[in-house]
Amino acid sequence: TCLNMLCDCFPHGYLLAELHSPFLEKNSKHHDAVKNTNATFGWGTKSGREYLELEPRMTLVSETSYNEEMKKYTIRGKLFAIIGKNMNNRLAVFKW
């Protein structure tokens, strides 16, 4: 996999990955990034820990929902931070 090649080619490093939930994968036609294109999301994750099965040399440093940042600025952000924490995109940081 790409993760294996990344770890093979570099002795150590960090990977920042944008993750989305399986819910978004099923409803990609409504997502603002792809709704006006023929693109679709092929899969989603419930947790960044799912990546660790693909490449055991990696560890998950952190995983933060974008809603956590947005709750600082809008009522909608505060609402989604409570009820939809992992439904929106998340930033995951991995290291190896």
The pLDDT score that the predictor gives to residue 86 is 61
Give pLDDT, residue 56. Answer: 95
Task: Record the pTM.
Answer: 0.74
Q: How many domains does the chain have?
A: 1
What is the per-residue pLDDT for 29? 62
Listed in sequence order, the residues at least 6 apart from 67 whose beta carbon sits closer than 8 Å to its beta carbon are 77, 80, 81, 84, 85, 88
What domain range is 53 assigned to?
A: 2-95
pLDDT by residue for the chain (96 residues), tens only, comes to 899 999 999 999 999 999 987 766 666 565 666 667 777 766 788 899 999 999 999 999 999 888 777 778 888 777 777 766 666 788 999 999
Structure confidence at residue 84 (pLDDT):
62
Q: Is 19 left (phi over 0), alpha (psi -120 to 50) or beta?
A: beta
The CA distance from 10 to 43, in Å, is 27
Sheet holding 90-95, edge to edge: 14-19, 90-95, 59-65
Q: Residue 28's pLDDT is what?
A: 59
Cα gap 25→27, rounded to integer Å: 5
